Copies of this chain bind each other. A is one copy, B any other.
Amino acid sequence: MATDRAAGRPRDRRTHEAIVSATEEMIMLHGYAGTSINAIASRAGVGKDAIYRRWPGKPELVYEALFARVDTGPVPDTGTLAGDVAQLTQALVDEFATPAATAALPGLLADFAADPALRTRLRSAFLAPARARMVEIFDRAGARGEIAGTAQVDLILDTLAGAVFFHVGLMGEPRTAELAAQLADIVTTGIGTR
């Protein structure tokens, strides 16, 4: 009979939360590059070790603080591929175009891309929920006969995410209300006829 109970003093949940909150605040206030582990620890009232004990470095910490939300919402099901993709694209906009995400994403994606160990997790870290939904959406659309054959889920998802990131996150274009609808329209139409 195995005991899963870890030996020693258990990690304090409040320490964890203080770090995550301080990270969020620092990112919003000073951006990704302007956020140092030292400053996070100081603002959280925590030793640096408490951070390094939990995360290997800044990228992993910031990712968890800002993007590791469990996606619990229902999969879009509007009855049409266009409607479903529009809803999913809106979710991407909600994830990538918030002030916090805009402040963090460029630097964060750069750090993930630069580190071989993190690089392999890029897709699963940032696009996993959207991808699962997209697979289901496309399956239903195939069952309805809206599309034929195998859709290239990854390419389409990268296109949507890349468009949102580039347009709003990097170029700083105002996040117009219709952005998701426009992108979804382009992509849905674009793949529909193939």
Contact = CB atoms under 8 A, between A and B. Distances in A.
Interface of A: 31-34, 106-107, 109-114, 119, 122-123, 152, 154-156, 158-159, 161-167, 169-173, 179, 182-183, 185-194
B194 A185 contact: yes
Contact of A158 (B112, B167, B191): B167
B171 A123 contact: yes
Total copies of the chain: 4
A180 to B, nearest CB: 12
Say whether chain A's binding surface is mostly helix, strand, loop, or mixed.
helix
A122 to B, nearest CB: 6
B170 A122 contact: yes
A31 to B, nearest CB: 5
Nearest to A182: B155
